[in-house]
Structure formats: structure tokens, C-alpha cells
Amino acid sequence: MPGTSIAGRPVMITGAASGIGRALAQRLSRLGSPVAIADIDESGLKETASSLRGTVLTRVLDVRDADDVHRFAGEVRNWLPAPLAAVFNNAGVAVTSSVLDAVPEDDQWLWDINFHGVVNGTRAFLPILVAQDAGAIVNTSSVYGLAGVPYQSAYCAAKFAVRGFTDALRQELRGTGVRAVTVHPGGITTNIARNARIRKDPEGLGRTREQMAAQFEAITMTTPAKAAAIIYRGLERGRARILVGPDAYLFDALARIAPTHYYDLIARVMSTVRARRKETV
């Protein structure tokens, strides 16, 4: 079904201090939307706010704290200059580890942010949208919520959970004016790899954090600004699931075609992309 335009209407975005969250805030602000932005990174949040136009509400927020997320939802409700158009539960972190060497504390840290942070944001803001009978809950999953990849077991588990949670919510909202949308970004050029928790090189190659981050960035195909444009366009078109980047379409297709052998094909494609990027440097 066609979407209701969010341009010029209020939105809330978590994880807005950098990456996709910042790019979404910038795009929607340029389109005239009042923007409420939140992140645990206060300095990054201030940088985002300074780049925006018009009405802005900023809040330092740890999405793991359900009570504080609900308090923030109340602040947003009181701040709203018009009905809330969309809630972007976008905050996320990464852990790189083999299952054998995984540290439970790292997995719990990721799970609390990437999954429970989405749940907290959904539960806090959904009553506002339901009372309006309009708007969209937009939850960021990942291509790793479409297919499992090595050394990302905790991340995949959380992103698959976001997908399942949002899919279930979508069915509960049938017949209402509220939408539930999943976003599946592929490789986006953000700081997520550089900020990931890594205890040691999971492949045993002795790589530093910087080297592993550089290898990830070498195969990213989409900038945050481009990702924001794709997400915005998908919402405007009423999409329930938004794939971001050519690699997202690759993951989605191969996981359907070869559900138990897709990674062999994906690894070959990524190796080719990395080699071609080196040739152009």
C-alpha cells in the first residue's frame, strides 16, 4: 500500500550521533521535519544537532534503560508540534568473535542495545502512534538479520530477533493506521566496525582492530547519506521491509535460493569486491 509522507512531519531517531541515524536526521530536517534525536554519545549528538535545520529536540539516552526511554517518550509527546510521523529505533553496536571464544558480557552488551533497545523504543513510543492511529515504527535490523555469517553470532542473533519482533508487531497492527517496518542495511560506511568489541582476531591472523575495520570498510557499498535516502524512499512508498544497498539484495536472494550454502557464494562475491577495490586504490 502507498505510504503516508513523513516529509515535514515530526520524527524520533535513536543512534543519531553518527552513521545512518545522523544521515536520517539531516535528510528529514532538510525536508522540514521537526526532529527528536537521541544517543548515548553526547558529543556526537551535539554535532548532529548543529547540522540540522528547524526544530530539534536532543536527548542523551541509553536505549538499554527502559524506564528512561519511556521518560524520553513522554518528553517527545510534550514537545510534538504535530502528530509523530515515524519512530526510528536505530541505535546499534557490534561484537566480533567466534562462538568458541565469545565473552558472555560482550554478547549481553550487544543484545541489550541491538534487541532490547529496539523493544524499549517500540514499547515506549507505540502508544503515541496508536493513539494517533497513524505513523510508523521503523526498526533497524541488518543483512545479518537475513543470513548468518561467521564471527557475528551475537549480532546475527539480535538482528534476526529484531526482524521477528517487528514482523510479529506488523501483524498485530493490521487494520490500524500504524505501520511496522524493518530496515536491512548492507555494508554501510559507518563507525560500527571501529567501535566494535573485539577481544582478539577471530580468524587467528593477528590483525589489529584498525586492520579489521579497514577490511570491513573496503567492502562497504553504501554511504550513510545514500542509506538514508533509500530508507526515506521506502517509507514514502509504503514498504514493510527496506533493503539498503546492493549487497542487501544479494544476501536476501542467496539466503532464499541456497538457504544452507549461501555463505560460500557471498564470500566469493565479497572477495571479488575487495580485490577490485584494491586495484582502484
Give the Cα-Cα-Cα angle 231, 264, 92 (nearest 5 degrees): 35
Q: Does domain 11-246 have CATH number 3.40.50.720?
A: yes
Q: Which long-range contacts (CB under 8 A, 24 or more apart) does 100-108 make?
A: 101/199, 101/200, 101/202, 102/153, 102/154, 103/197, 103/199, 106/154, 106/197, 106/199, 107/154
- Copy the grid coordinates of residue 272: 571479488
**What's the burial of 263, exposed, middle or buried (CB within 10 Å: 0-12/13-18/19+)?**
middle
19-30 and 224-236 helices cross at what angle (nearest 10)? 60
Give dist(CA 138, CA 126) in Å, integer.
11
Q: Which residues are catalytic?
A: 155
Residue 187's nearest CA partner among 144, 139, 233 is: 144
How many residues appear in the chain?
281
pLDDT in tens, the chain (281 residues): 456 789 999 999 999 999 999 999 999 999 999 999 999 999 999 999 999 999 999 999 999 999 999 999 999 999 999 999 999 999 999 999 999 999 999 999 999 999 999 999 999 999 999 999 999 999 999 999 999 999 999 999 999 999 999 999 999 999 999 999 999 999 887 777 677 778 777 776 676 767 766 666 666 678 999 999 999 999 999 999 999 999 899 889 989 998 888 878 777 766 665 566 555 54
Residue 243's nearest CA partner among 225, 267, 262, 222 is: 222
> Would you list the domain boundaries of the chain?
11-246
Question: pTM here?
Answer: 0.90
